[in-house]
Amino acid sequence: MKNPEAQQDVSVSQGIRMMFYVMKPSETSFQTLEEVPDYVRKATPLFISLMLLELVISWIRKGKPLGGLDDALASLSAGIMSQLPRLFYRSIELTSYVYIWENYRLISLPWDSPWTWYLTFLGVDFGYYWFHRMAHEVNIMWAGHQTHHSSEGYNLSTALRQSVLQIYTSWVIDNLGPLELILNTPSHHRVHHGRNRYCIDKNFAGTLIIWDRIFGTFEAENEKVVYGLTHPINTFEPFKVQFHHLVNIWTTFWATPGLFNKFSVIFKGPGWSPGKPRLGLIEEIPEVEGKEVPFSSSASQLLKMYVVAQFALMLAFYEETFADKAVLSQVTLLLRVCFIILTLTSIGFLLDQRPKAAVLETFRCLVFLILCRSGHLKPCISSLSFAFEIFFSICIAFWGVRSVKQLVSDPWR
Ligand SMILES: [Zn+2]
Ligand SMILES: [Zn+2]
């Protein structure tokens, strides 16, 4: 029998409750895999609305309209990059989960019993704690997870610096009273994102903080938390945000003598080097004063507005590509993914104010026109396509002239 309360579609009220994990077991139990809604896609519009709300509130509070915009865009870029592989294959974790369940399961739990839900909730949360702890304590896994920690801000967009949607509203919620004892609250997760010495490798919990209390990794928030990596990367360029630590591991691997040491570079903590304990020495973590200013873009307000407009356009293509992925050809999919990556990179270059940014942006506009002309990409509103072309031609002319000028005045740049 099918679950009568289960729906393919998620209502708005359900969506909002879903964001705060206020769901009944019967609403989130399904008999077959096909009935399970695509939670990430359903959550996206709600999440973006909440982020805009957060932006407006911080504007009112701090008086800076585009403050932290660069950091938020870099986080969104990372979120988009991490979702792109899903256009080509079903998630590896789901496929292997189904394979193991079909071939090696020890017992079958009744799918519609609340007890199954409670038990598996505990199980998943316990598993998450250990996965997350390993993501911090095993260097090669840290190469993936550091992306999420590279933001020097701490707001809703930070949660998107990876594929998992988590929700923590840092500045709204100070302390949740007795709930702090059992739940992973915004305060506890602020500590997890800190680069102060007392914050390193603490509070790995997903939903329940009890695991950290049991396994000795709990730390309460006390002195002001400074967010980000202990060695900030100071860039908004998406490839660097995603892969810089992998490059670090690669160079350290070859520079470290001895086979055992080389493997230790990969599997021990990110702070390890020969002669040190597994997780490195806490004294080597740079001290923070609490007055650190987050890295920010030196781009003009006008350029930032241009970047936001291009990002919004790209987001529309991204949404449409996911919605139509079943009917699009593999070539179109691949070209669109390349265009999205190119756009994110170009935006990163513009925000970083790199010398090559103008050339790259001109090239991107040209690619856009070619993709539109050849039918691989269609402007969001077809009647506006003419206006788009004129706009982009102006952009190309503008950037083209500028970059040629740059090249002429300094050919070695
Ligand atoms: Zn973490
Ligand atoms: Zn986090």
pLDDT tens-digit profile of 113-159? 999 999 998 999 999 999 999 999 999 999 889 988 988 877 777 87
Distance in Å, CA 62 to ligand 1 centroid: 28
Report how far residue 52's alpha carbon sits from residue 56's, in angstroms, rounded to the nearest whole number. 6
Q: How far is the CA of 132 from the centre of ligand 1 (A)?
A: 6
**Residue 183's beta-bridge partner residues?**
208
What is the spatial distance between Cα 106 and Cα 93, in angstroms, rounded to a whole number? 19
Q: How far is the CA of 307 from the centre of ligand 2 (A)?
A: 26
| Backbone torsions φ then ψ of 113, nearest 5 degrees | -90, 135
Encoded tokens for 352: 């970083």
Between the CA of 281 and the centroid of ligand 2 the distance, in Å, is: 23
Task: Give per-residue pLDDT as tens, 236-291.
Answer: 999 999 999 999 999 999 999 999 999 999 999 999 999 999 999 999 999 998 88
pLDDT 10s digits, 53-76: 887 887 787 776 666 788 889 998
Burial of 12 per CB tally in 10 Å (0-12, 13-18, 19+): exposed
- As a residue count, the chain comes to 413
Which ligand is nearest to the Cα of residue 75, counting in written order? 2
**Ligand positioned closest to the Cα atom of 134:** 1
Give, rounded to a whole angstrom, the gap between the first and last alpha carbons of the chain: 68
- Residue 179: strand, helix, or coil: helix
Taking alpha carbons only, the member of 82, 84, 75, 66 closest to residue 309 is 66
The bound ligand whose nearest atom lies closest to the alpha carbon of 135 is 1
Alpha-carbon span 181 to 187, nearest angstrom: 11
